[in-house]
Structure 1
Amino acid sequence: MPMLVLPQELTHRQAPACLRMLLQGLKVHKEPNVVVDAQALALFDTSALAVLLECRREALSDRKTFAVQGLPAALASMAGLYGVAELLPAA
């Protein structure tokens, strides 16, 4: 199962490069299950949610499953606040 890893910092400034990296990883890995490892994520804003949701959209459009491992509690709370928590299932 491919493991895509988020950086320690994912704010508006890093979001475009991080998304490009994740989407490239999706193309390289042909397995049907995708897991994004968010354990290293320490500094983030709502851009992190946008990146994860776009990665999920791309994975699902490629007929792959999508899950997140180690989502920080504050980011999980933010996802709940915006009503998207169920779109970021835990691995």
Structure 2
Amino acid sequence: MSNQSTVALPDLVTLHVASGVLQAMSKSLESQTETTATVDAQGLQIFDSSAVAVLLELKRGLAQKGRQLQVINQPPKLLELVALYGVSELLPA
């Protein structure tokens, strides 16, 4: 039985910090052994489309290792951006 651990997105994910957020989140997710990695988006306060890009890149990186990404507690604005960019099927609510 594996312990499901969740990695939280920071409160700020914009173009200026996206690269650092991606690196930190990738490192955190790498240390997990679960087939499905869970990211909690509840803390997101200030973000732009870079947040969507970070999540898509995390998903791609996990898929290369045969793992999946689950994003929980997505704020409404993030769901709107995901829909706007037409990637709802890649980042379902």
Q: Please indicate the TM-score interval, normalised by the length of the shorter structure.
A: over 0.9
Residue in structure 1 matching 2:14, options 11, 15, 19: 11
Q: C-alpha distance in 2, partners of 1:83/1:33?
A: 23
Q: Secondary structure at the match of 2:89?
A: helix
TM-score when normalising by structure 2: 0.91
- Counterpart residue type for residue 30 of structure 1: T
CA contact (8 A) 1:2 1:33 kept: no
* Aligned-partner Cα distance in 1 for 2:24–2:59: 14
- Identity over aligned pairs, percent: 38
- 5+ residue gaps, structure 2, are none
Output the amino acid matched with 1:86: E
Structure 1 counterpart of 2:38, which letter? V
Root-mean-square deviation (CA, aligned residues, Å) is 1.0
The 10-residue stretch of structure 1 (35-44 or 56-65) with the greater mean CA deviation from structure 2: 56-65
Structure 1 residues without counterparts, runs of 5 or longer: none
Instruction: For residue 14 of structure 1, report the CA deviation from its aligned partner.
Output: 1.3
Q: Counting helix residues as a fraction of each chain, which structure ranks higher?
A: 1
1:5, distance to aligned residue in structure 2 (A): 0.8
> Could you say which residue in structure 1 is the equivalent of 2:23?
20
CA distance 1:60–1:2, shift in 2 (3 Å): farther
TM-score (normalizing by structure 1): 0.92
> Per the alignment, in what secondary structure is the counterpart of residue 86 of structure 1?
coil
Which amino acid in 2 is paired with 1:47? S
Aligned length: 90
- CA displacement at 1:8 relative to structure 2: 0.5
The offset of 1:89, in angstroms, is: 2.4
Match of 1:65 in 2: 68
